Amino acid sequence: MNIKIASAQYDISFLKNWQQYQDKVERWVDEAVQQEAKILLFPEYASMELASLFSKAVYSSLSEQLVAMQPLLEDYLRLFYGLAKKYQCIIQPGTFPVKIASGAYRNRAYLFMPGQYDYQDKLMMTRFENERWLIQHGEHLKCFDTEYGKIAINICYDSEFPLLARKQVEAGAKLILVPSCTDTLAGFHRVKIGCQARALENQCFVVQASLVGDAPWSEAVDVNVGAAAIYTPVDRGFPDNGILAEGKLNAVQWVVADLSLSACETVREQGQVFNYRDWPLHETFQLRGSKE
């Protein structure tokens, strides 16, 4: 089955009110659906533009904006739940910092399908999140059942740790969504390289979305550098460089492409190499000293 996926290079706005946010998000969704996309991916921390709805004292404070945004969560969930149902598509809207019952914050990526939704929390936290923003890691790794097959989410830095994706593909995922937010070229390339490596070693599709543009008013997402892309196995039947589609660096745009999840099974069985199949073999080798 061929499926069209759209990955966003999404810019942070300074919002006047909730309606402006709602209109912006629906405009983005409508544009992707007009291109026949059925799965839509937004970047990590795309929701942080909502902090602009509050006073300067709030959006200039890393801690205060987390507190202030919590009452907006229900409206946020209602908005994307409604859009997924209205447009009959799957939407991963990036991440929202959610306060859980213990009082801790999680960087949470929701996955909305028509009539239902679930979420994946970020598991590997960056120094900024851990040391300055005090957002803590989640506890569970998930794999989601959808009408197109199993889909997984690696949130930005998570994509740089191969065993997370490996567990998800072993559970059946052939598509990994990577919402990302990076403030340097080096950071962007770390995530990009991680995504390409995950696609290579698991012979699956990995899709990256990026937050782009500057938001000098924001203490959290003031500088954003990146590009969206759709990565593939590097083998027969796929692009030689493993890149099915990619956007222009820092442009505001959708990156859209058709992909066939069944092609993953084909390359795993008939490819020039068998990265997915051979994975267990490399775990059998033990490191020994040169004199042993």
Catalytic site positions: 44, 122, 156
pLDDT at 284 over 80: yes
Please list the alpha-helical segments (H only) found in 171-248. Answer: 185-202
CA distance 42 to 111: 11
pLDDT digits (tens, 9 = 90+) for 191-205: 999 999 999 999 999
pLDDT tens string 115-149: 999 999 999 999 999 999 999 999 999 999 999 99
Q: Show the tokens assigned to 119.
A: 């979420």
Q: Measured between alpha carbons, how far is residue 32 from residues 25, 37, 39, 41, 118 in Å? A: 11, 6, 9, 10, 22
What does the domain layout of the chain look like in residue ranges? 2-282
**If we measure between CA atoms, which residue out of 286, 196, 220 comes closest to residue 58?**
220
pLDDT band at 288 (very low <50, low <70, confident <90, very high): confident
User: What pTM was computed for the model?
Assistant: 0.97
Tens of pLDDT, residues 159-176? 999 999 999 999 999 999
Instruction: Domain 2-282: give its CATH superfamily.
Output: Carbon-nitrogen hydrolase (3.60.110.10)
* Cβ-Cβ contacts under 8 Å for 202 (sequence gap 6 or more): 165, 166, 169, 176, 275, 276, 279
Are residues 146 and 90 in contact, defined by beta-carbon separation less than 8 angstroms?
yes
